[in-house]
Amino acid sequence: MSSQEENDGLGGIIDGKAIAAEIRAEIRNDVSSLSSVIPGLATVLVGERKDSATYVRMKIKACSECGMESIHRALPADATEGDIIAVVRALNEDACVHGILVQLPLPDGINEENVLSEISIEKDVDGFHPLNIGKLAMRGREPLFAPCTPRGCIELLKRSGVEISGKEAVVVGRSNIVGLPVSLLLMHENATVTITHSRTVDLASVVRRADIVVAAVGRTEMVKADWLKPGCVVIDVGMNSKPDSTRKSGYRLVGDVDFEGCRKKASLVTPVPGGVGPMTIAMLLRNCADAAMKCEKSAAQ
Ligand SMILES: *[C@@H]1O[C@H](CO)[C@@H](O)[C@H](O)[C@H]1NC(C)=O
């Protein structure tokens, strides 16, 4: 029975939490099969942003759940670019560190590109080193690591049995963090890709062509049901807070997609929260475990 029938004509839901848990179990398994290496993830946090501190804590916790080590470096908000780069360089040299994650955004006045370029490309588990992005953008080149959230979107599609090759994919948003790299990954999977942005004329009719829609604009519930081709698959990367007086916090998290409306039109949709969100950390751990596995292999040779 298809998920549509189970759901009274509503599209099925892609359970990102369950898929991320499955991936984490695979990682735990891979990590425990390593004999001479324990994967180590270094996290670098600059300043006092509460959201950044929370993300870093979640990553450290997820590491230990997968049997991986974490090495944390905290710098004050007034650290200079030179201070941050010195920390990154020391981590590059540290054999216990297989992946380096510099939590973004960095404080005003710090050039993020300068810092990210310093990360050894073999340890760039976030996939934002210009060389990794450059390889991702070229035919026939393989990046060492693909950025985590975009890779998570592709995993959700594949593990939900969605055929990507030859399909029309429309990506809403062209950010360096999601829109652009997810477009490149979809092209790697042989989709026909359209990237839309604030200057796109008649966005709704462009999205209506899509078999696969990836929404990554950061605009609350912007993608509506009547923008969708019936039966398409929708991946919602958005994470916006919407005022909600029924909640104690006064708000709730919603995506870039009108979820309830779009479920009536799409065959599969990711929810927010519980869709793409849990995949980001899972893919970070996957990249870091892969780096350690490569390390053990090359040491054995
Ligand atoms: C994409 O197409 C190329 C060229 O036909 C092929 O070699 C490659 O295996 C395809 N990749 C995927 C993921 O389908």
Phi, psi of 153 (to 5 degrees): -60, -45
Residues forming a β-bridge with 73: 44
Q: What pLDDT score was predicted for residue 300? A: 84
- Structure tokens that stand for 150 in this block: 């975009």
Amino acid at 189: E
C-beta 190 within 6 A of ligand 1: yes
Is the same domain home to 158 and 267? yes
On whether residue 89 sits in a domain, the answer given is: yes
- Report the domain count for the chain: 2
Whether residue 5 has pLDDT greater than 60: no
| Banded pLDDT at 10 (limits 50, 70, 90) | confident
| Banded pLDDT at 8 (limits 50, 70, 90) | low
On whether residue 28 sits in a domain, the answer given is: no
Is the same domain home to 189 and 229? yes
Residue 17, exposed/middle/buried by CB under 10 A (0-12, 13-18, 19+)?
middle
Mean pLDDT of 236-260: 95
Is the same domain home to 223 and 154? yes
Considering only CA atoms, which residue is closest to atom 1 of ligand 1? 190
On whether residue 27 sits in a domain, the answer given is: no
Best residue for ligand 1 mutational test, from 157, 190, 212 (most atoms within 8 Å of Cβ): 190
Whether residue 4 has pLDDT greater than 70: no
State how far the alpha carbon of 74 is from the alpha carbons of 57, 173, 299, in Å: 12, 32, 31
Q: What pLDDT score was predicted for residue 220? A: 97
Is the same domain home to 101 and 213? no
> Which residue is it, tokens 């993830």?
41
User: Roughly how many angstroms between the first and final C-alpha of the chain, as a whole number?
Assistant: 49
Whether residue 39 has pLDDT greater than 90: yes
Mean pLDDT of 276-290: 97
Is the same domain home to 167 and 232? yes
> Which residue is it, tokens 């944390």?
72
- Structure tokens that stand for 17 in this block: 């939490």
Question: Could you tell me the distance, in angstroms and rounded to a whole number, from the CA of residue 187 to the centre of ligand 1?
Answer: 10
H/E stretch holding 148 reads: helix 148-159
Give 44-96 pLDDT, tens digit per residue. 999 999 999 999 999 999 999 999 999 999 999 999 999 999 999 999 999 99
Whether residue 7 has pLDDT greater than 70: no
Amino acid at 291: A
The catalytic site residues sit at 59, 103, 126
Is the same domain home to 110 and 210? no
On whether residue 248 sits in a domain, the answer given is: yes
d(CA 195, CA 172): 6
Considering only CA atoms, which residue is closest to atom 3 of ligand 1? 190
Which among 14, 10, 27 is positioned nearest to 212, based on CA atoms? 14
Crossing angle for the helix pair 148-159 and 277-300, nearest 10 degrees? 100
- In ligand 1, the atom with minimum distance to the C-alpha of 164 is 14
Mean pLDDT of 20-44: 97
Whether residue 297 has pLDDT greater than 70: yes
Identify the domain containing residue 178 by its residue range.
Answer: 147-277
Is the same domain home to 212 and 255? yes
Is the same domain home to 111 and 152? no
On whether residue 20 sits in a domain, the answer given is: no
Is the same domain home to 261 and 177? yes
Q: What is the CATH number of the domain that holds 49?
A: 3.40.50.10860
- In ligand 1, the atom with minimum distance to the C-alpha of 190 is 1
> Do strands 268-269 and 12-13 pair parallel, antiparallel, or not at all (unpaired)?
parallel
Give 108-164 pLDDT, tens digit per residue. 999 999 999 999 999 999 999 999 999 999 998 989 999 999 999 999 999 999 999
DSSP conformational letter for 179: H
Is the same domain home to 113 and 154? no
On whether residue 301 sits in a domain, the answer given is: no
Q: What does the mean pLDDT of the chain come to?
A: 95
Amino acid at 23: I
Q: What pLDDT score was predicted for residue 191? A: 98
On whether residue 29 sits in a domain, the answer given is: no
- In ligand 1, the atom with minimum distance to the C-alpha of 189 is 13
CB within 8 A of 132, min separation 6: which ones? 121, 124, 143, 144, 145, 146
Q: What pLDDT score was predicted for residue 299? A: 87
Cβ atoms 232, 211 nearer than 8 A: yes
On whether residue 295 sits in a domain, the answer given is: no
C-beta 189 within 6 A of ligand 1: yes
Amino acid at 250: G
Is the same domain home to 160 and 219? yes
Q: What is the CATH number of the domain that holds 203?
A: 3.40.50.720
Is the same domain home to 246 and 153? yes
> Do strands 240-243 and 251-254 pair parallel, antiparallel, or not at all (unpaired)?
antiparallel
